[in-house]
Amino acid sequence: MGSYNILHATTTCPRNGETGPVEIEFTFGRLDFRDYRVGDTLDWGTKGLREPKQRPVGGDYDNEGYVECPVCHKDYWVWITVRADVITDVRVDPTRPGHIP
């Protein structure tokens, strides 16, 4: 099992249209199962597991996160935006299919 962090956010499930709180798994920053919310400063860390291996220039980074809807139990992907080390946005990726049919 790999390490990841959790981002608590509100999204709209592309599978059922329900909007609500979700837990998004993501694998960047210092990976040690930390809990974040939009507006929190991401810990890039200097020890242990982390991806990318060092803080990006300016602290700006975009990467994906994985969600399993708490209502329909189907999955989907989101894009997480980090600007100046702060998690600033989460948006559903409608182009990437989930793993759960």
Q: pLDDT tens for residues 49-62?
A: 677 888 999 999 99
Cross-strand partners of 31: none
- Find out whether the peptide bond into 97 is cis, omega within 30 degrees of 0: no
Calculate mean pLDDT across residues 60-70: 97
The pTM assigned to this predicted structure is 0.93
Calculate mean pLDDT across residues 21-47: 92
Tokens 């990976």 sit on residue: 31
Better-scored residue on pLDDT, 32 or 69? 69
Which tokens hold the place of 48? 């242990």
What pLDDT is attached to residue 49? 64
Whole-number Å distance between alpha carbons of 74 and 1: 20
What pLDDT is attached to residue 47? 66
Q: E strands of the chain, at which residues? A: 5-12, 19-26, 29-30, 35-37, 50-51, 61-68, 75-83, 86-92
Model confidence band, residue 9 (pLDDT cutoffs 50, 70, 90): very high
Q: Is the pLDDT of residue 48 over 70?
A: no
Better-scored residue on pLDDT, 84 or 33? 84
